[in-house]
Structure 1
Amino acid sequence: MTNKVGEEIKLIFSKLYNQYGPQGWWPLINYECSNTTKTGATKGYHPLNYILPKTRDEIYEIILGTILTQNTAWTSAEKALLNLNNLNAINPEKLLSLGDDTLKETIRCAGFLNQKAKYIKAVTNFYISLDGTIPTREELLRVKGVGNETADSILLYAYKQSEFVVDAYTKRIFIHNGIIKENDNYNKIKYVFESNLEPEQSVYNEYHALIVEHAKRYYNKKPYGQNDRLLLRI
């Protein structure tokens, strides 16, 4: 990877951070804090607090969130988490005690309820089996419903591991800026970032969150990045 690419990746991070500030990911529904400067949901975010999650159930809540937000907006996933919280089911053992129909109805607002109910049960059983240990990426990828993006999100946000998360927004921004190519796969893009950034959990955390914030503003509608004055290359 050329030094020029590394310099651009670092420069973009600096521009995004200076523009939007710390994002406070991953949100926790019972955390009494917020980030009112961001787009969409604002509650539960904790800017500059990288200690969270601290408890077993907070870690589990983030894992649930990574499943619930697949193919849907975070606002819908958040509603599903609030529904589960109303049933005191943001706890692995309590969630597994829910009947299938109850679980599906509770998470209906997040879409794909049949599929996600199966994924939630699978990842919950896996989480219990860990007995407090940190899973490897390979172990996570063997769990039904956990792909590359979900595995890296779990490791980065739930377990504070330095794994860079790549999503559709990452591709849109960095293809638009000529740093990655249209046909680059997930692991190649992940390598581009990880080989050009210090392996610091806080940096990976903020960079992914900042990409999402910027993309929501400028990369949600085609042509992507048309009005992007922050990153648009000359």
Structure 2
Amino acid sequence: MGAFAELYEDLHGALGPQAWWPAESRFEVLVGAVLTQNAAWRNVEQAITRLRDAALFAPEAILAAPVARVAECIRPSGYYNIKTQRLRAACEAWLALGGEQGMAAMPTLALRNALLAVHGLGPESVDDVLLYGFERPVFVIDAYTRRIFSRIGVVDPRAGYDTLQQQFQADLPVDAQQFNEYHALIVQLGKSFCRPRQPRCGDCPLLSRCAHGRAEMNQRS
């Protein structure tokens, strides 16, 4: 068992199952992936609720509505004018690719490349959609992942997205459910313990494996 697999076992044992992503449909995962960029999830939930309340929670409805109306609905997510354009582009792609059924029938690499071609969708957003929306075994790399695993000492924080993704996927079973759970555990650890500033190293379940954490504790003692 490699380092990434061992760390998964440690995290799962310490934090338990997370049952994440919190979405009701594949389209909601796509919308959430656009709106969560530089936003807290609670604000994304507010924006999604406002879209639903305005009867705009469908790709056709979003594209038919005045741009200003959509922007006002998603205002809680921040950067709402930019995100409105990105959301419209994502909705256009959703329809062009055949909607949920058409996208579900596409091979993973083809679907990933098609979504990466959409304005405003980067690798992290696309892989969120693939993993959480379409149950494809692609590992999501985000800021939590970089911070936690560079502090532990098993990744280079300067490495590119694809390089880090390949490191994880090479060491883990090809299992979308496990990738889903692992990423959710990483997010929970990053929020609760491995913070950007003032990390709670003394309480962290990965302290014994973390070079940064041990150094922090030595400085405090």
Task: Tell me the TM-score normalized by structure 2.
Answer: 0.86
Q: Residue 11 of structure 1 is aligned with which of 6, 10, 13?
A: 6
Question: What CA distance in whole angstroms lies between the structure 1 residues aligned with 2:30 and 2:135?
Answer: 12
Question: What CA distance in whole angstroms lies between the structure 2 residues aligned with 1:82 and 1:227?
Answer: 38
Number of the residue aligned with 1:73 = 40
Number of the residue aligned with 1:133 = 102
Q: CA RMSD in A?
A: 1.5
Whether 2:171 is the aligned partner of 1:196: answer yes
Question: What CA distance in whole angstroms lies between the structure 1 residues aligned with 2:9 and 2:49?
Answer: 34
The CA deviation at 1:228 is 4.8
Whether 2:87 is the aligned partner of 1:120: answer yes
Number of the residue aligned with 2:187 = 212
Poorly superposed stretches of 4+, deviation over 4 Å: none
- Contact map agreement 2:146 2:155 (CA 8 A) in 1: yes
Whether 2:21 is the aligned partner of 1:26: answer yes
Aligned residues: 201
Q: Flag structure 1 segments of 5+ consecutive residues without an equivalent.
A: 1-5, 32-57
Which protein is richer in helix relative to its size? 2
- Contact map agreement 1:176 1:225 (CA 8 A) in 2: no
Deviations 1:55-84 (A, max 9, x none): xxx111110000000011111111101111
Max radius of gyration: which structure?
Answer: 2
Number of the residue aligned with 2:141 = 166
Whether 2:157 is the aligned partner of 1:182: answer yes
Task: Tell me the TM-score normalized by structure 1.
Answer: 0.82
Number of the residue aligned with 1:54 = none
Q: State, as a whole percentage, how many aligned pairs show the same letter.
A: 33
Q: Does the C-alpha gap of structure 1 residues 170 and 225 become closer, same or farther in structure 2, counting only changes over 3 Å?
A: farther
Q: Flag structure 2 segments of 5+ consecutive residues without an equivalent.
A: 215-221
Residue 122 of structure 1 aligns with an amino acid whose one-letter code is: A
